Structure 1
């Protein structure tokens, strides 16, 4: 068993954020300047402040889950029969890219289809504007369950630093998707890759767009698994939640859905219904109309 110092040193090696953060900040400042100069209305000050608060809170909350993940990844990698086969070869990085990306797809999709997970992710979608600040508005408490989805990868022989590096690169790619300044890319890129157009759909509260386009880098996963939706020229995305929150206080933004779950659980009398409010998709009710995304979409289509 490795010492705690070993794992802390491994955690310190995952330092790509120090390269990415200046790019994020400069891009955000440039987008804000361009927005003000051209009066595009892409920013709302309170909304942007809430996004920056979420970024700071994630930096604090993520420390312990990430450390626990590194410990788990190292332990699983040690017992992997493929640990001697996967040695950071070029083909291993290519394979890891696809495995990481499809893992992200199912993690992200689960965040939208399991209400307890949605409670940790919803703060990212509560932004009412689409800009680079929204990209920094990550789900705070989703960090608690996030790394569980990546546990199979060290068993397949990929070392922890490889996995964390690929996870960071995937999130870095997603940053530029959060903008309205880029309309559409050439059709070939739109078909295979996640783009700002596809991600605007993901952030929209329109019924036809709800719970679609969960991809990280490759949009092909959504096309394969039936969660893809094209941005329609006839229907502009309306950002935010189907019922927007009214508070911009950081704790309210980060935790409001947990309170809503607690209210629903107390309201249900049967344990099966109480459990349903935790594991079923947002919008499910034991005694009211079914407002889950798939149900609402089937009604209008």
Structure 2
């Protein structure tokens, strides 16, 4: 009965999410029609195909996280009951901490980035971008970052439910028309903070990894504020130009496999798998660190004054 109720709630929530994203799409279509900001319906189409594909692939009994969760639960050090406000609060903070490191790893470890790049592929940030999460999300096993919660004694289904609520909160963060929100920016993940996260400008890369909160970004030095003099440029550093959903979903996986297959050594192959996106063995790649270092060097070059 409980699972049936949760299923109905999930269905209703998904309906609201889809309706809201479609309403926004129609409004933006007419608002920017005939301008350089013209709404790109291809982006919405790809996000919808991603959503449907993920729902279908969810039926496959393939997940890297499931056996890890099961092992952690069997060897848990405690059993947590979420029947008090304090327990729920601690679970929320623990989940937020795990989410931060999952999200940060998804940007700094190429294996996880291969799937997460799909979420960052839209060249226009809209509400529909929120549910473009990558077909191979389940198979990639990113949920393993929440294993400590299970090992501590939180039931796996409770952990996944809390993570789902976290992701649901982030839906509205993909609205570019919501301005900065004053003091809320210091604590919560907001549309402004998330615009920075989705931006491909060098100064904004790999920032603001929090889900609901930005306290761990501030604590670990990854918080970057949106600047009025630096408009966000959305998409990947190498923009996606294909409107083919399969290409968008799989190109980073294909690229990863090719690089590993063509690697000159085992250590290079492992580097392509586990080092940051853009890494090259010769040190001349395009990782975030390297891109920001080059941008800073150019910025610090003295201006040439003509005589």
* Shared fold, TM over 0.5: yes
Question: In structure 1, how many angstroms separate the alpha carbons of the residues matched to 2:2 and 2:148?
Answer: 19
Name 2:83's counterpart in structure 1.
88
Q: Is the Cα contact below 8 Å between 2:82 and 2:88 reproduced in 1?
A: no
Change (3 A) 1:73 1:279: closer
Match 2:165 to one of 169, 184, 191: 169
Q: Over aligned residue pairs, what C-alpha RMSD do you find?
A: 2.4
* Equivalent residues in 2 for 1:264-279, closer than 5 Å: 264-279=259-274
Change (3 A) 1:268 1:65: same
Structure 1 residues 230-239 or 55-64, which shifts more? Answer: 55-64
SS in structure 2 opposite 1:88?
coil
Name 1:149's counterpart in structure 2.
145
* Equivalent residues in 2 for 1:115-134, closer than 5 Å: 115-134=110-129
Change (3 A) 1:90 1:297: same
Change (3 A) 1:105 1:66: farther
Name 1:240's counterpart in structure 2.
235
Question: In structure 2, how many angstroms separate the alpha carbons of the residues matched to 1:268 and 1:79?
Answer: 39
Question: In structure 2, how many angstroms separate the alpha carbons of the residues matched to 1:159 and 1:90?
Answer: 17
Match 1:159 to one of 155, 178, 182: 155
Match 1:226 to one of 221, 224, 241: 221
* Offset, 1:10: 8.5
Q: Is the Cα contact below 8 Å between 2:125 and 2:176 reproduced in 1?
A: yes
Change (3 A) 1:152 1:14: farther
SS in structure 1 opposite 2:273?
helix
Question: In structure 2, how many angstroms separate the alpha carbons of the residues matched to 1:35 and 1:252?
Answer: 26
Name 1:29's counterpart in structure 2.
22
Question: In structure 2, how many angstroms separate the alpha carbons of the residues matched to 1:65 and 1:218?
Answer: 32
* Offset, 1:223: 1.0
TM-score (norm 2): 0.87
Structure 2 gaps, min length 5? 297-307
Question: In structure 1, how many angstroms separate the alpha carbons of the residues matched to 2:144 and 2:95?
Answer: 13
